[in-house]
Amino acid sequence: MKLKRVLPIEENEFYNYLESELLNDSSHTNTSVNKIEKGMTYSKIEPKTHLQINVLVKDYQRGHVYEVAIDSLYEKLTIKYQTKPTKEGLQIVFEQHIASFQESKQNRWLKWFSEGVYLGRMSDTLFDIQKKIEKSRVISS
C-alpha cells in the first residue's frame, strides 16, 4: 500500500521524530544503539504477547528515506517513508507492506475493503506523527 501526503512540518522535525521513536524502542533491548544506519538490527520481546520481534533498518538516508522491516512469528511488515520538502510542507510517500495481506487470495470486494482499512490506518499514522510533532513544538517553546 502506498500513500502520499503533504504535512505542515519540517523535514528535520520528521526525521528527529522517527529517530527518537526507533532509539527509544531499541533502548528496551540488550542491544546498544547510538546511531541509526542501514543494516542496524535489534530484537525485543513484546511485553503483552511475549513474542520476539526483530527490527531491521533496511535503508536510512536522513532527509530522504527511512525503511524498516519488522518481523515476528505471526507477521512480517515493512514500513518506508520517502520525503521531499515543498512550499506547503513536507511531502511524505508512505509505503507499508504486510506479508499476510495477499491480494491474490482475496475476492475483489474484500480486497477493496481491506485496502480502505489499511490506507485509513496509514493516513491516521501520518496525522498522529504530525500532531506529536506539533505538540512537541508547543512544549519546547
Q: What confidence tens digit (pLDDT) does each residue in 55-81 have?
A: 999 999 999 999 999 999 888 999 999
Band the pLDDT of 104: cuts 50, 70, 90: low
Between CA 141 and CA 138 the distance in angstroms is 5
Whether the pLDDT of residue 30 is over 80: the answer is: no
Q: What is the mean pLDDT of residues 94-100?
A: 86
**Predicted pLDDT at 79:** 95
pLDDT class of 105 with cuts at 50, 70, 90? low
Residue 108 has pLDDT above 90, yes or no: no
- Nearest Cα to 36, choosing from 25, 52, 44, 28? 25
Predicted confidence band of residue 141 (pLDDT cuts 50, 70, 90): low
Q: Residue 127 CA to chain centroid, in angstroms? A: 12
CA distance 109 to 24: 39
Q: Say if residues 56 and 37 touch (Cβ distance below 8 Å).
A: no
Strands of the 2-7 sheet, one edge to the other: 2-7, 90-98, 76-85, 65-71, 52-61, 41-45
- Please name each of the domains of the chain with its CATH number: 2-140 (3.30.530.20)
pLDDT classification of 47: cutoffs 50, 70, 90:
confident
Q: Which residues have C-beta within 8 Å of that of residue 116, sequence separation ≥ 6?
A: none
Specify the 3-state DSSP secondary structure of 61.
strand
**CA dihedral over 32, 94, 63, 87, signed as positive or negative:** negative
pLDDT greater than 90 at residue 34: no
Task: Judge contact between 53 and 72, C-beta under 8 A.
Answer: yes
